[in-house]
Structure 1
C-alpha cells in the first residue's frame, strides 16, 4: 500500500515537473513577451493540475474493483475521468487566476472563451495524465498477476511433490516390513539388524522430506542402507556393483528417486530369478547432463512395468517432470535377454 502511494507521488512530481520544464523551455525559445507573468500562470496551472488529478484519483480509488472492469467499461470510465478532470481543472485554474492576478474579460462567444481561457490545455493534460495512469495500472496488474501465477505454480509443484513423497514412504515401508517379517522366525538376530537398517533409511528420508532435491551422495547413503537390508534376505543371491563418478556426488537429484529405482530392480528383477543376480548402479557426467543408470538381472514381463507405468516408475517420471520439465528423461527397457536397464538423464542445476 505505502509502496503504491510512494510511487504515485513520485509520478506526480516527475510528471508535472517535466510539463513545467517543457513549457519553460518553449517560453524561452519562442521569446514570449511578459515571461514573468507566463511563469506565474504556469505555476498556478501546475498546482491546479496536481489538485484536480489527485481529487479524481481519490474518487477513483473509492470505486472498488474498477481494474477488473471490461475493456468497454474501462474506456467509458477513462473518458468520464478525462472530461471531469479537465472541466474541474479549467474552472479551478481560472478561478484562481481571477482571484490572484485578474484574468482577461470573458468573451461572449462560449467556444472562443474556452479557447482563450485554456480549456484545450486542460483537456490535453487530463487526457495524457489519465492515459499514463491507466497504462501504469495495467502494467502493475499484469506484473502482479504474473507473480501470483508463478507463486501458484510453485505451490502446486510443492503440493505435487509432497503428495508423491507421501505415497512413496508408506510404499517403501510396506515392502521393507515384509522383508523383515520373513526373517523374524527364521533368524531373529538378522531381523534385529534389518530393523536397524530400516531405521537408518527412515531417518535419512525424514531429513529430506521438505527438500525438492538432495545430493547424490545423500541418496546413495540411503540406497546402501536399503541394499544392506535386502542383502540380509537374499544373501549371496544379491550382488551389488557401483560405478560412481566422484564429480557427480554433489549433484542434486529428487529425494528417494534412486532408492525407488533400486527397489524396483530388486522387486521385479532379482527376487524373480532363482539364482539371484546383480544390481549395477552408475552415475556419470555426459556433456552438460547428469546420467544415472541402474542395471539389474531379470526381464520386464509385466505390461505395466514394461511400459514404465508401475507405481515407482510413474512417480519417478512425475517428479522429473515437475522439477525439470522436458529437460529430463527417464527410460526403462530390456537391455538384453538377461538384463534390465533404467536410465535417468537430468540437466545440471
Structure 2
C-alpha cells in the first residue's frame, strides 16, 4: 500500500513513537515520576503499549491487504474499517490487560478500581481508548492510500499523454510517405502538359495533405469532416496514379461529421487499403469508406478489393499504431478489427465511443 516497506515502518515508528512521547509528557505534567518505581512502571507500560500497537496494527494491515478491503466502495469500506477497528481494539485491550496482570503493572489505585467495578468494565473502558487509536490509524492509512493512488493516477495520466503524443507523432511521420510523395509528383508532372488545370488541382491536394501532416500534432482530435477532407485529397491524387483502376465510394452518415476522432487514424486505414489492396490487383478495385452511429459508438469502416494477407499485413506499423492509440486513448472502450469480409473484399473497422 505504501511506496515501500521502509516508508511503512517509518510511519509506524513516528506514529507510535509520537504517542509514547505524548504519554511521557502527561505523566511528567501530572507528577507521576516522583519515585524510581513510578518511572519504571510508566516506561514498562508505555513500551508494552507501543509494542502491542505496532504488532496488532501490522497484522491488521496484512489483513486489509489480504482481503482487498480498499477495493470496495466507500460505504462498505467504512463499515469494514469500523468493524475491524472494534475487533482489533478489543484484542489490544485484552492483551494489554493480560500483560499488566502477568508483569504486575497495575497501580494500587487501579487494583482497587478493578475490585470495585470489575475487570470487564475496566477492560471495556480500555477498549474504547484503543478503538480511538486504531480508528485514527485506519483513517490515516486510508487517506495516505488514496493520496498515493491519486498521485499515481496523475503520473499515469501524464505518462499516457506523453505516450499518446509520441505515438501520434510517429504515426504522423509514417504518413508522410516519401514513396507517395514521389508517385504524386510524377503523376503531377505527367499532367502538366496533358491537363494543366488538373495538375494545379493535384498540387493543391498534395499541399493540403502535407500541411495537415505537419500541423496535425497540435491537436488531440479532429472532426470526421476534416479527416475526410484530407482523405478526399489523398484519394484524388491516388486516382491520378491508378486512373480507372481505382473506384472510391463514400457512405457517411451526416450525424457523424462533427464527431471527434483521433487524427489520421481513418486515413491510415485508407492508405492501408491502397497499399495492400488496390496496388496489388491488376484490375484495380473499389475503396469504400463508411461512417455511422451505432449504440453510442461511431463506427468507421473501410473496405477494399483484395486479399487479407494475415500476420504480415496485420503486424505493420500502421495497423499496430491504430491498436496502440486506441488502447491508450480509449482503454477497454473501443474496438478494431480487420478481416476478409468476402473472398474478394477486406474490411477494416474501428469503433469509438461517442
Tell me the TM-score normalized by structure 2: 0.64
Structure 1: 5+ residue stretches without partners: 1-64, 96-109, 117-122
Alignment of 1:16-31 (within 5 A): none
Q: 1:143 to 1:303 in 2, by over 3 A?
A: closer
1:178 aligns with 2:182: yes
Cα pair 2:176 2:213 within 8 Å, conserved: no
Q: How far apart are the structure 1 equivalents of 2:17 and 2:308?
A: 72
Q: How far apart are the structure 1 equivalents of 2:128 and 2:348?
A: 68
Aligned length: 267
Structure 2 SS opposite 1:317: helix
* 1:309 maps to which of 303, 308, 315: 315
Structure 2 SS opposite 1:250: coil
CA RMSD of aligned residues (A): 3.6
- Partner residue in 1 for 2:172: 169
Structure 2: 5+ residue stretches without partners: 33-105, 113-125
Cα offset for 1:177? 1.0
Q: 1:125 to 1:206 in 2, by over 3 A?
A: farther
1:263 aligns with 2:271: yes
Cα pair 2:339 2:347 within 8 Å, conserved: yes
Q: How far apart are the structure 2 equivalents of 1:90 and 1:319?
A: 64
* 2:340 maps to which of 304, 315, 334: 334
* 1:91 maps to which of 18, 22, 28: 28
- Partner residue in 1 for 2:73: none
Structure 2 SS opposite 1:89: helix
1:222 aligns with 2:159: no
- Partner residue in 2 for 1:82: 19
Q: How far apart are the structure 2 equivalents of 1:178 and 1:302?
A: 28
Cα pair 2:270 2:302 within 8 Å, conserved: yes
Cα pair 2:227 2:266 within 8 Å, conserved: yes
Q: 1:237 to 1:148 in 2, by over 3 A?
A: same
Cα offset for 1:265? 0.7
Alignment of 1:1-349 (within 5 A): 69=6, 71-72=8-9, 74-92=11-29, 111-112=107-108, 131=134, 134-174=137-177, 175-183=179-187, 185-188=189-192, 189=196, 192-301=200-309, 303-305=311-313, 308-346=314-352, 348-349=353-354
- Partner residue in 1 for 2:60: none
Cα pair 2:307 2:346 within 8 Å, conserved: yes
Q: 1:70 to 1:170 in 2, by over 3 A?
A: closer
Structure 2 SS opposite 1:292: strand
Q: 1:167 to 1:80 in 2, by over 3 A?
A: closer
**CA offsets, 1:221-275, max 9 Å, x none?**
2211211222222223222111111122222322111000001111111122222
Structure 2 SS opposite 1:80: helix
Cα offset for 1:284? 1.3
Tell me the TM-score normalized by structure 1: 0.65
Cα pair 1:279 1:295 within 8 Å, conserved: yes
